[in-house]
Structure 1
Amino acid sequence: MTTAAILAHEVIGSGAEKVIVLGGWLGDRGVFQPIQHLLDQDKFTYCFADPRGYGGSMDIAGQHTNAEVAGDVVALAAALGWDKFHFIGHSMMGKVAQYLCAHHGDRLKAVVGVCPVPACHIELDAGGHQLFSTAWEIPANRGIICMVTTGNRNTPVWEQYMIRESLRTTTPEAFRDYFTMWAGEDFAADMPGCQTPFLAMTGEYDGGVPTAFVQATVMQWLPNAELHVMSNSGHYPMQETPIQFVTVCEAFLGRFA
């Protein structure tokens, strides 16, 4: 296991409730830019971080595993002086959120898994595996993934923007490795009984992590899990429905202040 690193990050707000936020597979913390002006900065302090190989952490080498990312999150909290904190993780970082619940639950107040990849091995059909496993070297695949996981409803201008940002903010090696992390790693056996309050947010039109999949996995494992289906959104609610995204997240986290 690698030594924990202090991830590149940006802190917004000055509130007593501390929140660490990590984005999904396609890119860095910039995916959350549409929500930043909507945050309650008097009640919350948000730390938006980049995992190894992405964004400001692009030059930090690593193994790109759930354990490594979780260790880096805990190290970041310690560096910030945060003994207890909330965590918001999108997509593959929703899987990391579950790892944190299982292995670092004493540090957590409450967690939001946004379209969370469950803690089990992810079975993909041949076409899906080909699409995802080669996206690190075929840029167009990243756009196809964006469109499929949002119900093929959004403008192709957004698709091209997401491709450009993904290529700009990720290294090919980390992008490839994180696919193995979110699709291949399986720690589902560690999940039952975790007591951390957990909000599983799914998207109405998410074809990648559909609500039924989350109901059959995360919601069965975690006794204190709640489900919120985000209307008019797919896999990127922070981009597709930013006002409602912030409203739902802050209402949930605020209950565990």
Structure 2
Amino acid sequence: MEHQRIGTGEHTVFVLSGWFGSSRAWQALLPHLDLSAFRYVLWDYRGYGTRRGEAGDFSLAEAAADVLAGADALGVDRFSLLGHSMGGAVMQRVYADTPERVRAMVGVSPVPASGFPFDEAGWALFSGAADEPGNRRVIIDLTTGNRLTGVWLDAMVRHSLENSDRDAFAGYLSAWSGADFQDEIDGGTVPVKVIVGEHDPALGAETMRGTFARWYPNLETEVLANAGHYAMDETPVALAGSAERFLARW
């Protein structure tokens, strides 16, 4: 498993992308990171980015096991996790499996360990995105508050199409939306910060209060102004500062 690694710091952070992302989806954030304090491992799931064409069952358990195998291969015993959206569910699965190895977690509009319930229309929109690029565009527009440019929306859709296999994309939707392992992490003492955008209608502060705040006693929450679901693109300087100020404490 070859993944992009940047930075020379002692503190290793695995960076886990969302459903529409890949390891390449963090490019706008990279110039603002402290590469002397941290070492970042930009991760790809099976079927995504540098791992397109790789077989798998595209589950959270498999994704978490791969992260742990990657940490072993790098000789990293303890590490932190930075997970966006679906990556927020993956990072919690890693923690559930090996809590002693996780220093801290930062979730950026993270999917809770209880998944995300859809109504019939929502499921039709999201499940149809595996085969219909237009659905992907609508979802990205909705989750950023219908306020960003068509040029950016088109680029996000293009990135998703070019960096994910169709079956992996479809499989991960069932994995993160149907997650149900909150009992395994409830009361976990790991330091956690959730960073959400003020314009994210689904995974914003209210959702975090009903999920993460119930499970993690050492939780901090921050709402970023002028951001929706994709803070790494919308407010990269603010996101980098928020995440690293927290991680530096652990």
Q: TM-score range by the shorter chain?
A: over 0.9
- TM-score, length of structure 1 as denominator length: 0.95
CA offsets per residue over residues 173-204 of structure 1, 9 Å max, x none? Answer: 00000000111121112121111111111111
Q: The residue matched to 2:130 in structure 1 has which SS?
A: coil
- The counterpart of 2:11, out of the listed 1, 17, 20, is 17
CA offsets per residue over residues 142-175 of structure 1, 9 Å max, x none? Answer: 1111110000110011000011111000000000
Summarize the alignment of residues 29-48 of structure 1 with structure 2, pairs less than 5 Å apart. 29-48=23-42
- The counterpart of 1:86, out of the listed 74, 80, 84, is 80
Please tell me whether residue 143 in structure 1 is matched to residue 137 in structure 2.
Answer: yes
1:62 aligned residue: 56
Q: The residue matched to 2:15 in structure 1 has which SS?
A: strand
1:185 aligned residue: 179
Q: Which AA in structure 2 matches 1:246?
A: A
Q: Which AA in structure 2 matches 1:167?
A: L
CA offsets per residue over residues 48-76 of structure 1, 9 Å max, x none? Answer: 01100000011221111111111111111
Q: Aligned equivalents of 1:102 and 1:229: distance in 2?
A: 26
Q: Aligned equivalents of 1:29 and 1:211: distance in 2?
A: 26
Please tell me whether residue 219 in structure 1 is matched to residue 219 in structure 2.
Answer: no
Please tell me whether residue 172 in structure 1 is matched to residue 166 in structure 2.
Answer: yes
Does the 8 Å CA contact 1:9/1:50 hold for their aligned counterparts?
A: yes
Gaps of 5+ in 1: 1-5
Aligned CA RMSD, in angstroms, stands at 1.0
**Structure 1 outlier segments of 4+, above 3 Å:** none
Aligned-residue offset at 1:27: 2.4
1:249 aligned residue: 243
2:89 aligned residue: 95
Q: Aligned equivalents of 2:40 and 2:31: distance in 1?
A: 12
Q: Aligned equivalents of 1:46 and 1:245: distance in 2?
A: 15
Does the 8 Å CA contact 1:148/1:208 hold for their aligned counterparts?
A: no
- TM-score, length of structure 2 as denominator length: 0.97
Q: Aligned equivalents of 1:253 and 1:39: distance in 2?
A: 12
Q: Aligned equivalents of 1:121 and 1:48: distance in 2?
A: 23
Q: Percent same amino acid at aligned positions?
A: 41
Q: The residue matched to 1:227 in structure 2 has which SS?
A: strand
Aligned-residue offset at 1:87: 0.6
Aligned-residue offset at 1:208: 2.7
Q: Aligned equivalents of 2:183 and 2:127: distance in 1?
A: 25
How many equivalent pairs are there? Answer: 250
Does the 8 Å CA contact 1:137/1:172 hold for their aligned counterparts?
A: yes
Q: Aligned equivalents of 1:196 and 1:172: distance in 2?
A: 35
Does the 8 Å CA contact 2:16/2:91 hold for their aligned counterparts?
A: no
1:158 aligned residue: 152
Q: The residue matched to 1:45 in structure 2 has which SS?
A: strand
Summarize the alignment of residues 227-238 of structure 1 with structure 2, pairs less than 5 Å apart. 227-238=221-232
Q: Aligned equivalents of 2:68 and 2:159: distance in 1?
A: 27
Aligned-residue offset at 1:242: 0.3
